[in-house]
């Protein structure tokens, strides 16, 4: 498993690099073919192993947030039971566990595996593929990294992305600034209004902001990107309504809002039964209890849960520091996590 992990990590796979994703898909396909005994269906850089009608969907992704060249300064490294490297935790170790675990099943009948290449950027190109693969499934098991200490992810916030665009009027900043309508100033007003929309566990965060075309011109245009996350579907309706109700503060300015929900929330009810089943599987294997936690990040589990498929997330690697320098994986935990996945699949299929 460690050797396979090294192979995957040393092939960089940022979500927006077509050449890198093609190379990564080739390596992942080879690993899955060797361990499952069948080659995947190729859908661009997305891979699907289907063994009859889907009863259990097992999902993961091979893209990462790390640009090509990261390995040059931060190579795959092993120190005792800890491995580090770009993408090792999110989520290449989870893929290794997935394939090694499934290789021990007596039969893969009813098991569909989807490994997509754009999860880190919202699964825009693969969500229809995931929806189709999940049709008729009794369960979706998401091999994303575990929460702290190996906890499973039993609820996830949904994500919405919005864009506020401001139209003003250009003018010479030195000669006639009074003739302009400063889009940057208007955007500042709107940014403060947007930032005030968060409440409770709903976050509304202004992220990317741009304005102007030159340093001596009153900006005629400006734009703001907004990241909104929450557990309650009603909160998405509230925030979307508030954003679309934004009105300009400066005379002559115009404000336009676009965007919407990218991934709906994954509620606790989507995972409750599977979490109990996973707890029983862990007990049968002599493993420690598996707490469940709600997390702010989204995954493809949001997509399967929204289709009404019971979904359990966080079945991947034990480690930490996802998306940050020094992300790491506990190598000693990988066999047990692979065994847990296998036992859980077997129990689901046995329930009839």
Angstrom distance (rounded) from CA 11 to CA 333 = 23
Give the CATH class of 2-157+265-350. alpha beta
User: Phi-psi region for residue 165, left (φ > 0), alpha (ψ -120 to 50) or beta?
Assistant: beta
CA distance 20 to 14: 7
Enumerate the β-bridge partners of residue 230. Answer: 158
Is there a contact between 199 and 264 (Cβ–Cβ < 8 Å)?
no
The CATH classification of domain 165-263, taken from the options 3.40.50.720, 3.40.50.20, 3.30.70.360, 3.40.50.300 = 3.30.70.360
Question: Average per-residue pLDDT in the chain?
Answer: 97
Catalytic residue among 63, 90, 235, 327: 63
pLDDT tens profile 137-166: 999 999 999 999 999 999 999 999 999 999
Q: What is the pLDDT of residues 211-222, one digit of tens each?
A: 999 999 999 999
Q: What is the DSSP string of 303-317?
A: HHHHTT--EEB--S-
Q: Taking residues 224-243, report their average pLDDT.
A: 97
What Å distances lie between residue 29 and 8, 32, 78, 95, CA to CA?
11, 5, 24, 11
Beta-ladder partners of 158: 230
Confidence of residue 29 (pLDDT cuts 50, 70, 90): very high
Q: What is the pLDDT of residues 95-120, one digit of tens each?
A: 999 999 999 999 999 999 999 999 99
pLDDT band at 351 (very low <50, low <70, confident <90, very high): confident
Question: In the chain, where are the structural domains located?
Answer: 2-157+265-350, 165-263
168, 250 Cβ separation under 8 angstroms: yes
186 given a catalytic annotation? no
Is residue 4 annotated as a catalytic residue, yes or no?
Answer: no
Does residue 62 have a pLDDT over 90? yes
Find the catalytic residue in 119, 235, 313, 330. Answer: 119
Do 234 and 297 meet the contact criterion of CB atoms below 8 Å apart? Answer: no
- In 85-150, which ranges are E strands? 111-116, 139-142
């Amino acid at each position: 498993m460690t050797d396979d992990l090294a192979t995957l990590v040393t092939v960089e796979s940022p979500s927006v690099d077509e050449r890198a994703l093609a190379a990564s898909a080739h390596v992942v396909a080879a690993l899955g073919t060797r361990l499952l005994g069948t080659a995947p269906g190729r859908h661009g850089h997305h891979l699907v192993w289907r063994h009859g009608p889907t009863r259990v969907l097992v999902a993961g992704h091979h893209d990462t947030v790390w640009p090509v060249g990261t390995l040059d300064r931060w190579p795959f490294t092993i120190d005792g039971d800890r491995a580090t490297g770009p993408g090792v935790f999110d989520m290449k170790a989870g893929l290794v566990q997935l394939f090694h675990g499934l290789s021990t099943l007596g039969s893969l009948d009813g098991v569909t595996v989807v490994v997509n290449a754009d999860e880190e950027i919202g699964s825009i190109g693969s969500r229809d593929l995931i929806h189709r693969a999940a049709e008729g499934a009794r369960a979706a098991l998401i091999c994303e990294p575990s929460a702290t200490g190996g906890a499973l992810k039993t609820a996830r916030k949904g994500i919405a992305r919005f864009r506020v665009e401001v139209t003003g009027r250009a003018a010479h900043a030195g000669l006639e600034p009074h003739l302009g309508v400063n889009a940057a100033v208007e955007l500042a007003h709107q940014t403060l209004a947007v930032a005030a929309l968060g409440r409770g566990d709903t976050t509304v965060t202004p992220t990317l902001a741009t304005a102007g075309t030159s340093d001596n011109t009153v900006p005629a245009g400006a734009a703001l990107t907004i990241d909104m996350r929450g557990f309650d579907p009603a909160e998405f309706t509230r925030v979307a309504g508030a954003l679309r109700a934004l009105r300009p503060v400066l005379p002559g300015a115009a404000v336009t809002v676009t965007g919407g929900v990218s991934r709906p929330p994954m509620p606790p009810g989507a995972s409750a039964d599977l979490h109990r089943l996973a707890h029983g599987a862990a007990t049968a294997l002599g493993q420690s209890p598996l707490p469940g936690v709600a997390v702010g990040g989204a995954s493809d589990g949001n997509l399967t849960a929204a289709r009404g498929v019971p979904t359990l997330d966080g079945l991947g690697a034990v480690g930490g520091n996802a998306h940050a320098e020094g992300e790491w994986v506990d190598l000693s935990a990988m066999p047990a996590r692979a065994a847990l996945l296998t036992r859980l699949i077997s129990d689901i299929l046995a329930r009839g």
